């Protein structure tokens, strides 16, 4: 009888989830159960490795998924850890002054499988290093707080990558796979080993009030990369990086074509970007599953190479279509418009030379740029032109050392109205104002949850 009772108690303890500190507000998206990382033995001295504490916390709190969900609170302090995964119906909450630091010891980074839509790691063939924060097949995940920081401490990775000392592809700072109903809000990401936020095969993602910072010469530190993902909203973000501030992708050559999952219904609003060697928003170069219905509004780029750039090439297949851009303010740009048809970079020698991307329906409205070196470098693909380009109400004020040739257009077709400097003949036809969809995409909750823990 007594042993039975003990056994029953143990079952209950396993089945019931943790009860810890309470939430200081309740409402949609606020979790019933709240624990601190210190409850799992973590030490925030910047030196103690807390990998086991994060793993224990997530395993413990995953049991709350069916009972109101759980929040893991990271208090002020410097919390060093190896990679860890998230769970469903879960909030990772970084209080003011909290900094989660990624271990710089490569032995703390296990290897994981490459993405099926890439067929191999992006830097190197074969498997890849784990992402710092990961998760697969999750529902209802929030990363938020009082602007705490997730720091990838990427310098060691950039150095080793550039010295060609890495056997495997670098991990991303945050990668969620096959997940839905995600909110990332009011947190800062710094010094990612490679890309910062990588949402892959995800649906219904809101990224709001996020700061992303990496040195402008760091290697491949893309800000936000929605990849084969649908219904993604990126609002009020500030990104300084060594690569594209945002890059929408959908798999690589024959692997992406086979996986066949597009990135679509993506909204970007009120982005501020600084990226002197890359784009404010790139579409591609990996776009083999297709990219469509992309809406960009009310955004600013400063000292950035180009604005909304299309990157593709022979072998990619797929498509980029129905892209709508309006109301950009740009300052110090090498090219306001840049389209690339020969991006190169193939996963292996099996890319299909007959896999030609279809690029069509690209609209740019109300763009004002200052200190521009060249207005448009527009290069489609021979025998596979980029078509349906529309530009209206565009003004590029030139830099003192601007190029004499302001537009260089090959294998592109479209219309322009109210564009200065006068565009190339391929865009010369007099057009109407370009279109921007009237309907509003429904992404994320009607209002961001307001929970403090
Ligand atoms: C995270 O989950 C993935 C599977 O989605 C697994 O391969 C990886 O080992 C996990 N990482 C950690 C640190 O537990
Ligand atoms: C996640 O879901 C995908 C697609 O349904 C499946 O192929 C994969 O095995 C799942 N991964 C995990 C770690 O459960
Ligand atoms: C968040 O922190 C970052 C890095 O310290 C800072 O640049 C940014 O201005 C902060 N954002 C807010 C809203 O306080
Ligand atoms: C999207 O996710 C939010 C939570 O982030 C949820 O409130 C909303 O119902 C989801 N929308 C759809 C269409 O699934
Ligand atoms: C591709 O082909 C080139 C030469 O034809 C060869 O040197 C290279 O190793 C091949 N690469 C792969 C990944 O098979
Ligand atoms: C043209 O674009 C500018 C911003 O660059 C905007 O202020 C102006 O209202 C637009 N003009 C029209 C006619 O829409
Ligand atoms: C204008 O752009 C040039 C590069 O073309 C840069 O060196 C210069 O600082 C910029 N001027 C201003 C006022 O931002
Ligand atoms: C114009 O673009 C084409 C195609 O990219 C290139 O071959 C050519 O050199 C460019 N011309 C000038 C003057 O930059
Ligand atoms: C982020 O901060 C804004 C402004 O303070 C607030 O409206 C929003 O609810 C916060 N997001 C979350 C998920 O708490």
Is the CB–ligand 5 distance for residue 348 below 6 Å? yes
- Compute the distance between CA of residue 286 and CA of residue 254 in angstroms, rounded to an integer: 11
pLDDT at 4 (0 to 100)? 57
Centre of ligand 3 to C-alpha 100, Å, is 15
pLDDT at 16 (0 to 100)? 67
Is the CB–ligand 1 distance for residue 112 below 6 Å? yes
Centre of ligand 4 to C-alpha 206, Å, is 9
Strand partners, 409: 378
Share of the chain above pLDDT 90, in %: 92
Pick 161 or 15 by higher pLDDT: 161
Res. 338: pLDDT tops 50: yes
| CA 134 to chain CA mean position, Å | 14
pLDDT at 19 (0 to 100)? 67
Ligand 7 atom nearest the C-alpha of 401 is 5
Among candidate residues 175, 173, 164, 182, the one with its CA nearest the CA of residue 199? 175
- Compute the distance between CA of residue 368 and CA of residue 332 in angstroms, rounded to an integer: 11
Nearest residue (by CA) to ligand 2, atom 14, is 137
Res. 8: pLDDT tops 90: no
Nearest residue (by CA) to ligand 1, atom 10, is 85
Nearest residue (by CA) to ligand 5, atom 7, is 349
Residue with tokens 């890495």, as numbered in its chain: 166
**Strand-pair category, 211-213 with 188-190:** parallel
Residue with tokens 């925030």, as numbered in its chain: 44
Res. 18: pLDDT tops 90: no
Ligand 7 atom nearest the C-alpha of 402 is 5
Centre of ligand 8 to C-alpha 204, Å, is 41
- Compute the distance between CA of residue 278 and CA of residue 304 in angstroms, rounded to an integer: 6
**Strand-pair category, 358-379 with 291-304:** unpaired
- Compute the distance between CA of residue 142 and CA of residue 449 in angstroms, rounded to an integer: 9
Split at pLDDT 50, 70, 90, the class of 27 is confident
Share of the chain above pLDDT 70, in %: 95
Alpha helices per DSSP H over 29-185: 51-61, 155-162
Three-class SS of residue 407? strand
Strands (E), 130-228: 133-136, 139-145, 149-151, 174-177, 180-185, 188-190, 197-200, 203-208, 211-213, 224-227
Nearest ligand to the C-alpha atom of residue 185 = 9
DSSP 8-state secondary structure symbol assigned to residue 28: T
Res. 5: pLDDT tops 50: yes
Split at pLDDT 50, 70, 90, the class of 444 is very high
Q: Are 237 and 273 in contact (CB under 8 A)?
A: no
Centre of ligand 3 to C-alpha 148, Å, is 9
Strand partners, 85: 134
Centre of ligand 8 to C-alpha 58, Å, is 54
Res. 340: pLDDT tops 90: yes
Ligand 1 site-directed mutation target among 51, 108, 130, 132, most atoms within 8 Å of CB: 130
Lowest-confidence region among 9-18, 93-102, 176-185, 205-214? 9-18
Ligand 2 atom nearest the C-alpha of 177 is 1
Record the pTM. Answer: 0.95
pLDDT tens per residue across span 236-287: 999 999 999 999 999 999 999 999 999 999 999 999 999 999 999 999 999 9
Q: Residue range 116-124: average pLDDT?
A: 97
Q: Residue range 190-205: average pLDDT?
A: 98
Determine which one of 60, 123, 140, 243 is catalytic.
243
Centre of ligand 8 to C-alpha 359, Å, is 20
For residue 227, indicate whether it is catalytic: no
Ligand 6 atom nearest the C-alpha of 367 is 5
Res. 181: pLDDT tops 90: yes
- Compute the distance between CA of residue 26 and CA of residue 450 in angstroms, rounded to an integer: 8
pLDDT tens per residue across span 169-178: 999 999 999 9
- Compute the distance between CA of residue 241 and CA of residue 304 in angstroms, rounded to an integer: 10
pLDDT at 242 (0 to 100)? 98
Nearest residue (by CA) to ligand 7, atom 7, is 332
Q: Are 303 and 273 in contact (CB under 8 A)?
A: no
Whether CATH 2.160.20.10 fits 31-427: yes
Res. 1: pLDDT tops 70: no
pLDDT at 431 (0 to 100)? 73
Domain ranges of the chain: 31-427
Ligand 4 atom nearest the C-alpha of 204 is 1
Ligand 4 site, CB within 6 A: 181, 183, 204, 444-445
pLDDT tens per residue across span 416-437: 999 999 999 999 877 788 999 9
């Amino acid at each position: 009888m007594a042993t039975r009772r003990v056994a029953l108690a143990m079952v209950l303890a396993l089945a019931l989830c943790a009860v810890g500190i309470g939430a200081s507000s309740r409402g949609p998206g606020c979790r019933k159960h709240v624990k601190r990382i210190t409850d799992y033995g973590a030490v925030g001295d910047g030196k103690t490795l807390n990998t086991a504490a994060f793993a224990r916390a997530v395993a413990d709190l995953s049991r709350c998924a069916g009972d109101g969900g759980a929040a893991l609170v990271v208090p002020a302090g410097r919390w060093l850890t190896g990679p860890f995964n998230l769970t469903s119906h879960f909030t990772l909450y970084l209080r003011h002054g909290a900094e989660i630091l990624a271990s710089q010891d490569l032995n703390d980074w296990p290897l994981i499988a490459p993405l099926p839509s890439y067929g191999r790691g992006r830097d190197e063939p074969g498997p890849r290093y784990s992402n710092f924060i990961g998760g697969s097949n999750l529902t209802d995940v929030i990363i938020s707080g009082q602007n705490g920081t997730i720091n990838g401490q990427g310098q060691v990775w950039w150095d080793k990558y550039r010295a060609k000392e890495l056997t495997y592809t670098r991990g991303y700072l945050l990668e969620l796979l096959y997940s839905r109903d995600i909110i990332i809000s009011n947190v800062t990401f710094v010094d990612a080993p490679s890309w910062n936020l990588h949402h892959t095969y995800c649906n219904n993602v809101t990224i709001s009030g996020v700061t992303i910072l990496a040195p402008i010469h760091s290697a491949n530190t893309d800000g936000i990369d929605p990849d084969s993902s649908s219904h993604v909203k990126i609002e009020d973000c500030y990104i300084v990086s060594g690569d594209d501030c945002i890059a929408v992708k959908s798999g690589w050559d024959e692997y992406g074509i086979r996986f066949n999952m597009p990135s679509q219904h993506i909204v970007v609003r009120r982005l501020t970007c600084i990226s002197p060697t890359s784009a404010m928003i790139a579409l591609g170069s990996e776009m083999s599953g297709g990219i469509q219905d992309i809406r960009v509004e009310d955004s600013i780029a400063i000292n950035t190479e180009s604005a909304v750039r299309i990157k593709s090439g022979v072998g990619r297949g797929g498509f980029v279509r129905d892209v709508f851009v309006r109301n950009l303010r740009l300052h110090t740009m090498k090219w306001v418009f840049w389209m690339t048809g020969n991006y190169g970079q193939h996963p292996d020698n099996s890319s299909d030379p007959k896999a030609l991307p279809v690029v069509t329906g690209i609209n740019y409205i109300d763009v004002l740029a200052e200190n521009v070196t060249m207005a448009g470098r527009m290069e489609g693909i021979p025998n596979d032109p980029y078509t349906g380009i529309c530009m209206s109400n565009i003004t590029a004020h030139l830099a003192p050392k601007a190029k004499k040739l302001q537009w260089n257009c090959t294998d592109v077709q479209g219309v322009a109205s109210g564009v200065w400097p006068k565009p190339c003949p391929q865009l010369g036809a007099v057009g109407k104002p370009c279109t921007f969809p009237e309907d509003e995409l429904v992404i994320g909750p009607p209002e961001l949850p307001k929970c403090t823990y």
